[in-house]
Amino acid sequence: MNFLNFVILTLLQLYTSVLLLRVWMQCVRADFYNPFSQFIVKITQPVIRPLRSFIPSIGPIDTASVLLAYVLILLGIIIPSYLSGTSIPFSLMFPFAFIELLTAAGKMIFWLIIIRAILSWVSQGRNPIDHLLFQLTEPLMAPIRRIIPAMGGLDFSAMIVILVLYALNYLRVDVLQWLLSVTLY
């Protein structure tokens, strides 16, 4: 059962991350002619296209992709509890899935920033992934850079964004504990 649980959760989490990446690429208006962007669109389009016929976008947010990511996270909560024979209170499933959706988005942003930082050290020149990572992370790092400019050639904006993400993750734990305490008592 553990192996099956691992495989199912891993596939659900990977596809959720790809869907959230697609949403983020649309929000920041990333270059969709980039080869990596084309890859993301091609692996999500077969599932998203039918959903778009009855789930319209709201402004720059692709609600079909967000809703599908939410459903996948909800399945990632329900399936393991079903396979293990435990149950999560029904009243907790939907808020818990929403919090996990935000957490998945935060993890995606964390890894985009880490990969951009690593590639900035080892990259020999401009390549399509460097440019896309810049487009995906710069909307978060530029406002911080305006407040705290680079000092001595060191840019602290990535570190500050990551610290904010860590703080939000701790807030997530507090909210989940509060939800459990309210539901159980």
pLDDT of residue 147: 92
Return the pLDDT at 139. 95
pLDDT digits (tens, 9 = 90+) for 70-92: 999 999 988 888 777 777 777 88
More confident position, 154 or 1: 154
Long-range contacts of 122-125 (CB under 8 A, 24+ apart): none
Q: Among residues 129, 130, 136, 137, which one has the least CA distance to residue 157?
A: 137
Q: Determine the pLDDT at residue 180.
A: 83
pLDDT, tens only, 151-174: 877 888 999 999 999 999 999 999
Residues 6 or more apart whose CB falls under 8 angstroms from that of 109 comprise 24, 137, 140, 161, 165
> For the chain, how many structural domains are there in total?
1
pLDDT at res. 11: 94
pTM: 0.89
Range of the domain at 93: 2-184
At 124, phi and psi to the nearest 5?
Answer: -90, -10
The per-residue pLDDT for 85 is: 76
Is the confidence at residue 98, as pLDDT, over 90? yes
Q: Is 59 left (phi over 0), alpha (psi -120 to 50) or beta?
A: left
Instruction: Report d(CA 31, CA 136) in Å as an integer.
Output: 10
Looking at residue 184, its pLDDT comes to 66
What are 2-56's pLDDT values in tens digits? 788 888 899 999 999 999 999 999 999 999 999 999 999 999 999 999 999 899 8
Q: Please name the amino acid found at residue 132.
A: L
pLDDT digits (tens, 9 = 90+) for 56-72: 888 888 999 999 999 99
Confidence of residue 1 (pLDDT cuts 50, 70, 90): low
Confidence of residue 185 (pLDDT cuts 50, 70, 90): low
pLDDT given at position 23: 95
- The pLDDT of residue 16 is 97
